Amino acid sequence: MTLKHEDVPEETMERMLAYLRELDCIWREGKVKFSSQTLAKVLHTNPAQIRKDFSYFGEFGTRGVGYDTKQLIRELRAILNLDRTWRLALIGVGNIGSALLRNPELKRQGFDIVLAFDNSSRRIGKKLGNIMVEDVSHLRDRIREEGVQLAVIATPVECAQDTADALIQAGIKGLLCFAPCHLDIPDEVRIVPIDIPMALGKLVYHMEV
């Protein structure tokens, strides 16, 4: 594919991810074929939006025949760089961190936590799933050794910025951050926050009190 992802609007890429998620659900329900009319319904959007989003990436489906679920999943995964396994480092093996380590769904989706770090002597050296928790002071060397590009920050807020700085020095290019705070990150590093208190906050400001 010659198209650069930078040329595709962010919103389109996010919708492509949502389409893939719906197609995964549908595949599990055993639906193997779609007409283009039903595709939009199944993806919870309208046909014009889908055509516009897909048009960035070429032709999908066959006129008069429709879409093959498995093939469309395969094509979307390739577009989204999800047709491979991504190796991740995890920093912070508290409640959320250890939940991620134990979650088989992540690996099934192509995200394999291969390194886990903590600063607590209670946790260092323990095995969680298949992964031995390592001392966070070895973070830079170990990430370089393993050639990992992505990391998950699941530390307390107080350590999150220092952790991010160390990760970026180690060559990390993408961060998923569970710490509920703003992080200063260079432009070339991508960060996606998952802020659970803020998500709950979004629920309540419209509630009747």
CA nearest to 140, candidates 109, 115, 104: 115
Using CB under 8 A as the binding rule, the residues of this chain from 112 to 131 that contact its own copies are none
Residues 147-176 that bind its own copies (CB under 8 A): 149-150, 157-158, 173-176
Taking the complex as a whole, the smallest distance from the CB of residue 192 to its own copies amounts, in Å, to 5
Kindly state whether residue 204 participates in binding its own copies, applying the rule CB under 8 A.
Answer: yes
CB of 73 to its own copies, least distance (A): 13
Interface region with its own copies, contact rule CB under 8 A, candidates 48-56, 104-112, 116-124, 162-170: 104-112
Any idea what DSSP says for residue 62? B
CA atoms within 13 A on the CB side of 100: 25
Task: Provide, rounded to whole angstroms, the least separation between the CB of residue 144 and its own copies.
Answer: 17
Alpha carbon dihedral 169, 173, 179, 182, in 10-degree steps, equals 80
With 0-12 CB in 10 A as exposed, 13-18 as middle and 19+ as buried, what is 140? middle
Q: Considering the complex, what minimum distance in angstroms separates the CB of residue 64 from its own copies? A: 28
The smaller minimum CB distance to its own copies, of residues 138 and 144, is found at: 144
Closest by alpha carbon to 148, among 120, 126, 117?
117
Q: What is the DSSP letter of 85?
A: P
Closest separation between CB of residue 139 and its own copies, Å? Answer: 19
Per the rule left: phi > 0, alpha: psi between -120 and 50, beta: everything else, 58 is: left
What residues line the site for its own copies (CB under 8 A)? 5-6, 13-14, 16-18, 20-22, 25, 28, 44, 79-82, 84, 86, 88, 95-96, 98-100, 102-103, 105-106, 109, 111, 149-150, 157-158, 173-176, 180-182, 190, 192, 194-209
